[in-house]
Amino acid sequence: MDYLPLFADLKGRPVLVVGGGDVAARKIELLRRASAQVRVVSRELCPELQALHQEQQIEWLATAFEPAQLDAVFLAIAATDDNLLNRQVYDEANARHRLVNVVDDQPKCSFIFPSIVDRSPLVVAISSSGTAPVLARMLREKLEALLPASLGQMAEVAGGFRDRVKQRFSRMSDRRRFWERAFNGLFASQMSAGNVDEATRTLTRELNEEPNRAGEIILVGAGPGDSGLLTLRGLQVMQLADVVLYDHLVSDEVLDLVRRDADRICVGKRAGAHSVPQEETNRLLVELARKGKRVVRLKGGDPFIFGRGGEELQAAQEAGIPFQVVPGVTAAAGATAYAGIPLTHRDHAQSVLFITGHCRADGDDIDWPSLARARQTLAIYMGTVKAAAISDGLIRHGRDPATPVAVIGRGTRQDQQVLTGTLEHLETLAAAAPTPALLVIGEVVKLHEQLAWFQHSAQQATRESAVVTLA
């Protein structure tokens, strides 16, 4: 280990920065975030530093470096393009046993700036000891994506309970187990949802009483198939799940991101076929949550768009089970984007309707005249079985039989297929497309040939996942 990782308290401490350009400004920004008392030595200041000086946020100590300037500071930074001056600052600081950093000159650094993930008061620092700073920054970016913004506030709330937890539990092991339950349980979920007051009450209750074994239910939209379209929040929740109930519509590559030791239960759901009745799914969700489990209900697309997510949460609410919702990219948005079909376009469609093909056989519950209007896009979920009836109904109520249509099978996935034609041939196209499939009706379909992009990348033998991994 070339450098010992330390976190320095710079609040109110004097720090010397030699240099007044953009590089110095970047370092000064970090120092000010740490509430350091910044003193600058430079012939001139860049506009950013000039503004800070005028606002009395920094002190412009002098225009030329003098060794005596180091006598009363905690540490020093040399950020000039003068190698001889940088060397002088380094030598003089070392002679006075002051920590010193020469920017972009690792041999002349007794301390270095790590890449920082700031979730204050929780801070993660990553360093390559100055050998590969770009690699350190890349790793920081991955951690930024994976660590929820709520972690800092969670740490603040938890910090207010430290003394009380010490009084409640005399043994270190008991305190550790308490915090492990808290940071992996309902308290953490409530903090992530922004419900600070309820999270505080939960922590108080768990501290003063026997641990509450009640679980929770989290609805997560898994998107249309490509794991790269899963939200960061969805990924975080899936990594914390005790048990996952999922549909057939959830792709294998998304399921692969579920925590490996979580129980997985398939509750089915395909167009026209449900391997598990909805009532049984509702009952199972409540039963598992009552056992103290964090239950993730993983649904294809978005759980509130033809996903019956509202019904499942009503069951949770009636049972008194806490719940959350993580939205997902719905199939109409994802599949059409990957097919190069904009849902709206100034020249072709001023509105879009999301509808389901699950309708009564007689069609009396459908407002066909509204659906048949021109210059709008219809995105029809689960419509392949009723494709003939949909085509016939639209044509009978005035939609041109030559209206462009697309059937997008397995949208956003590696084996995506986009079949295009006209409304009068919708039944044939739907029968030929792989499932799950989305029907798109409207003039915007004509743009597919011009804007399609994913069909080319899908030809590749392998495609790098957009999901962040640390492996």
The catalytic residues are 247, 269
Residue 211, preceding bond cis, omega within 30 degrees? no
End-to-end Cα distance, the chain: 22
Count Cα neighbours of 7 within 13 Å in the Cβ-side half-sphere: 11
- Name the residue with tokens 């929770």: 216
**Tokens of residue 364, six digits:** 């009396």
SS3 for the chain, per residue? CCCCCCCCCCCCCEEEEECCCHHHHHHHHHHHHCCCEEEEECCCCCHHHHHHHHCCCCEEEECCCCHHHHCCCCEEEECCCCHHHHHHHHHHHHHCCCEEEECCCHHHECCCCCEEEEECCEEEEECCCCCCHHHHHHHHHHHHHHCCCCHHHHHHHHHCCHHHHHHHCCCHHHHHHHHHHHHCCHHHHHHHCCCHHHHHHHHHHHHHCCCCCCCEEEEEECECCCHHHCCHHHHHHHCCCCEEEECCCCCHHHHCCCCCCCEEEECCCECCECCCCHHHHHHHHHHHHHCCCEEEEEECECCCCCCCHHHHHHHHHHCCCCEEEECCCCHHHHHHHHCCCCCCECCCECCEEEEECCCCCCCCCCCHHHHCCCCCEEEEECCCCCHHHHHHHHHHCCCCCCCEEEEEECCCCCCCEEEEEEHHHHHHHHHHCCCCEEEEECHHHHHHHHHCCHHHHCCCCCCCCCCCCCC
**What does the alpha-carbon distance between residue 188 and residue 181 come to, in Å, rounded to a whole number?**
9
What is the distance between the alpha carbons of residues 223 and 302, in angstroms, rounded to a whole number? 6
Beta strands 14-18; 75-78: pairing state: parallel
In sequence order, what are the residues at sequence separation of 6 or more whose Cβ sits closer than 8 angstroms to the Cβ of residue 443?
Answer: 345, 348, 349, 374, 375, 403, 404
